[in-house]
Chain A
């Protein structure tokens, strides 16, 4: 569609002031925090594709009308809300449209009887949490992106919070939702505690990364907010394997602390700078809820700990983690890593207990051996389940080239590192994306991730977005015409 006609058509729907074409604003809306994009921006080189414009929608009706118009004219569109993406998930197609729902930020209902809250997609999670805390409730959802993230994006990326072992991921918290399909039709999924009426349609949108619809409204569970009942404890353990075994035991025995974290010796030494013996890993545990439950859970964990050669470090390391856990958001736009000449980032995977330790070892070994520029690599487990856990790999590599070559090296070396993590995870049957989603940088590994079920993704896409306008590039690998 011709650019002027596109802009005029959108202005006719949402009004002139809600269609933004200034390059700086459009680029800012497409800003993604994946490590190499941060490096490139800090080097003065914004490599993100340029959208034609940014459309700030104010209601479900506007979303519907805009999508209908874009669908009729086959214009690519990427949905966004808070803009905390680290997977290039919010980067548009060249010449496409960014549909921003962050102005749709109303709190619609807090139902204290049925224990849920309903808000529009642009409701900032931190604001929602504060509002709920004042009423004595919590969402139980605390991703590291808390200061930036908004509800629509959290659901679309299948987010998870730091207290997930108790409260679950967002898929466990969403009661119902409203979404708009590519053709503009509005679908609502009602708020009930559970039902047995066919496949759960919430999951068409939870984790769809905007490729199946635009989420406009979310209803989430709420819980009693009782931080005064927290039980906290840190343990020093000998190495990652012993740490994994320890937290595995806690889960296997059926305990449900809210926070179960295991930081490997590299993080303990090189990132936390704790003065600990060289192979010390750190376990952080936090229980939350009614005091009788938290005390009983704490006592159970202490009983397990007594059978391991662990060092009781008291509650201070957990308390400190609590106050600093989201600080990273304050520095996302600062050129700290660039000034140090490195690209730094994280990558999360998950796997069953039987293989997770091996995946961790293999990845770390290969990063040591195969990435000559590697400056730091380690990881932590931060979300545990009865069946397994995740590993959040942290890495930093040095950019040794100068100028344009450095820009290329940042991306190529980054994908080299990611490739190693993906390969080793897939090799042992793990999942290559625990909670950041596919975005546009992990798409190439999605066929192996899903195996024989992958064609279903294309069928869902064909059914809900037959013209393929919604967030092209996430989850689905581009297929040749005859394959499609």
Chain B
């Protein structure tokens, strides 16, 4: 099982004095505390928890964390101490693409994808977004560029229990666990996945809806309001050991390439892209109001029909 995580190191904007925001064009953030993007931190911890669950099953598992742009060494080394096998930094491209990378999710995804293509991880975790104001589009672009399945709003992930494996093996294919009251949904990739090697149980939360799904890799798992949002603590000993290690720097062949055409990437077969397309195309909606006569039972029956499309008037 190869687990990957994409993360970004950002300034803690909450620690910027209000007065400094007035000088936006000259905002100096060098003195501001740096941290993992909050959702990325949750993704890092969720990935480690998935790794732990594989280790408990005595399975081979590796965990790699990748960031574009790097950050303070202490934060990169902290990932080794937390349990990552590899930490990789991808330098920002030179020129305008690098300078404006924070506003070029497609380019960021391209850089990340170029690295992951060399590694072929089974699952890649990302945070929902880096922070306030971020487009939140990198995960979808990344999935598109890799041809991976995309699962959003992931809160937890774990390897299949032995019983679950037997159950799915008996069914002959990857199926949803039949666990009430969770909602199960068959995952059918739109195109042949790059490599079907791993199955991961995930929990997704969208509002009040909690779904437990069985995901057959490869997939990009986008972590939202994770069950454990903070990266784990580690011992002083592990911290000292980690100080001896350095993050690897990986440079793609084309670091100053022109950002790809979004449409091109979208043809990659990513799943769940409907949501993302809202960003580009606004479908006009209209609302109607009508009075339903009758008692509660009659109103409920009418509503059921309306929701199932049987009533149009």
Q: Check if B312 is an interface residue, CB within 8 A of chain A.
A: no
**Nearest B residue (CB) for A276:** B72
Measured in the bound complex, the distance between the Cα atoms of B233 and A316 in whole Å is 29
Assess whether A374 is in contact with B74, with CB atoms less than 8 Å apart: no
Q: Check if A107 is an interface residue, CB within 8 A of chain B.
A: no
Q: Which of A314, A320, A336 is close to B15, meaning CB atoms less than 8 Å apart?
A: A320
Measured in the bound complex, the distance between the Cα atoms of B75 and A274 in whole Å is 10
Assess whether A324 is in contact with B235, with CB atoms less than 8 Å apart: no
Binds A, one of B30-38, B187-195, B301-309: B30-38
A319: chain B residues within 8 A (beta carbon): 17, 19-20
Measured in the bound complex, the distance between the Cα atoms of B82 and A342 in whole Å is 14
A234: chain B residues within 8 A (beta carbon): 31
B15: chain A residues within 8 A (beta carbon): 320, 323-324
B contact residues vs A (CB 8 Å cutoff):
14-20, 28, 30-35, 71-75, 228-237, 239, 243
Assess whether A374 is in contact with B31, with CB atoms less than 8 Å apart: no
Binds B, one of A51-59, A110-118, A156-164, A265-273: A265-273
Could you list 20 A-B pairs, sorted by A, with CB under 8 Å?
A269-B74, A270-B239, A273-B33, A273-B34, A273-B75, A274-B34, A275-B74, A313-B31, A319-B19, A320-B17, A323-B18, A324-B15, A339-B228, A340-B233, A341-B233, A368-B236, A374-B235, A375-B235, A376-B233, A398-B235
A316: chain B residues within 8 A (beta carbon): 28, 30-31
Measured in the bound complex, the distance between the Cα atoms of B305 and A88 in whole Å is 62
**Nearest B residue (CB) for A398:** B233
Q: Which of B32, B75, B228, B233 is close to A320, meaning CB atoms less than 8 Å apart?
A: B32
**Nearest B residue (CB) for A375:** B233
**Nearest A residue (CB) for B74:** A269
With A270-B74, A275-B73 as known contacts, state yes or no: A340 contacts B232, CB within 8 Å: yes
In the complex, per-residue mask of A340-370: 1 if CB is within 8 Å of any chain B CB, else 0: 1110000000000000000000000000100
A336: chain B residues within 8 A (beta carbon): 230
Assess whether A396 is in contact with B33, with CB atoms less than 8 Å apart: no
Measured in the bound complex, the distance between the Cα atoms of B11 and A320 in whole Å is 13
With A375-B236, A398-B235 as known contacts, state yes or no: A317 contacts B33, CB within 8 Å: no
A contact residues vs B (CB 8 Å cutoff):
234, 269-270, 272-275, 278, 313-314, 316-317, 319-320, 322-324, 336, 339-342, 368, 372-377, 396, 398
* Nearest CB of chain B from residue A259's CB, rounded to whole Å: 16
Most buried by B among A275, A341, A368, A398: A275
Q: Which of B18, B32, B230, B237 is close to A340, meaning CB atoms less than 8 Å apart?
A: B230
Assess whether B31 is in contact with A275, with CB atoms less than 8 Å apart: no
A314: chain B residues within 8 A (beta carbon): 31
**Nearest B residue (CB) for A400:** B235
Measured in the bound complex, the distance between the Cα atoms of B231 and A254 in whole Å is 45
Assess whether A275 is in contact with B72, with CB atoms less than 8 Å apart: yes
**Nearest A residue (CB) for B18:** A323
**Nearest B residue (CB) for A368:** B236
* Nearest CB of chain A from residue B26's CB, rounded to whole Å: 12
With A275-B73, A319-B17 as known contacts, state yes or no: A341 contacts B31, CB within 8 Å: no
Assess whether B31 is in contact with A317, with CB atoms less than 8 Å apart: yes
B235: chain A residues within 8 A (beta carbon): 372-375, 398
Measured in the bound complex, the distance between the Cα atoms of B81 and A398 in whole Å is 14
Q: Which of B28, B229, B232, B237 is close to A341, meaning CB atoms less than 8 Å apart?
A: B232
Measured in the bound complex, the distance between the Cα atoms of B105 and A408 in whole Å is 48
* Nearest CB of chain B from residue A361's CB, rounded to whole Å: 16
B232: chain A residues within 8 A (beta carbon): 340-341
A377: chain B residues within 8 A (beta carbon): 236
Measured in the bound complex, the distance between the Cα atoms of B71 and A372 in whole Å is 29
Q: Which of A313, A339, A340, A374 is close to B236, meaning CB atoms less than 8 Å apart?
A: A374
A273: chain B residues within 8 A (beta carbon): 33-35, 72, 74-75
**Nearest A residue (CB) for B19:** A319
**Nearest B residue (CB) for A275:** B72
B19: chain A residues within 8 A (beta carbon): 319
